Amino acid sequence: MTALAPPAPMRALRHPAGGLAGGWLVAVIAAAVLAPVLSPWAYDVQALKDAYQPPSALHWLGTDEFGRDLLTRLVYGARTSLSVSGIAILLSVLCGMVLGAAAAWFGGWFDRAVTTVVDLTWSFPEILIALILVAIIGPGTTGTMIAIAVAYLAQFTRLTRAQIMTLKGETFIEAARSLGAGNAHILLRHLLPNALAPVLVSAMLATGDAIILEATLGFFGLGAQPPVPSWGGMMSAGSALVFKAPWIILFPGLVVAVTVVAINLYGDALIAELDIRGRMRAAA
Q: 144 by DSSP, 3-state: which?
A: helix
Percentage of residues of the chain with pLDDT beyond 70? 95
For 254, the domain range is: 15-36+61-283
Alpha-carbon gap, residue 52 to 192, rounded angstroms: 53
Domain count for the chain:
1
Q: Measured between alpha carbons, how far apart are the two ends of the chain, in Å?
A: 37
Q: What is the pLDDT of residue 284?
A: 45
Mean pLDDT for the chain overall = 87
Asked if the model's pLDDT at residue 88 lies above 90, the reply is: yes
pLDDT tens-digit profile of 70-82?
Answer: 999 999 999 999 9
Asked if the model's pLDDT at residue 276 lies above 70, the reply is: no
Does residue 160 form part of some domain? yes
Q: What is the pLDDT of residue 282?
A: 47
Does residue 204 form part of some domain? yes
Alpha-carbon gap, residue 46 to 69, rounded angstroms: 9
Q: What is the pLDDT of residue 183?
A: 72
* Residue closest to 12 by CA, chosen among 251, 227, 263, 270: 270
CA atoms within 13 A on the CB side of 132: 8
Asked if the model's pLDDT at residue 106 lies above 80, the reply is: yes
* Residue closest to 38 by CA, chosen among 10, 78, 86, 94: 78
Contact 190, 238 (CB under 8 A): no
To the question of pTM greater than 0.95 for the whole model, the response is no
Over residues 149-168, the mean pLDDT reads 90
pLDDT tens-digit profile of 180-192?
Answer: 777 777 777 778 8
Does residue 43 form part of some domain? no
Alpha-carbon gap, residue 38 to 89, rounded angstroms: 28
Q: What is the pLDDT of residue 247?
A: 94
Contact 187, 160 (CB under 8 A): no
* Residue closest to 80 by CA, chosen among 214, 177, 200, 204: 214
pLDDT tens-digit profile of 110-131?
Answer: 999 999 988 888 888 889 999 9
CATH, residue 143: 1.10.3720.10
* Interacting residues of 91 by C-beta distance below 8 A, sequence separation 6+: 145, 149
Alpha-carbon dihedral sign for residues 217, 223, 228, 230: negative
Alpha-carbon dihedral sign for residues 107, 112, 114, 115: positive
Residue 124 φ then ψ, to 5°: -105, 145
Does residue 4 form part of some domain? no
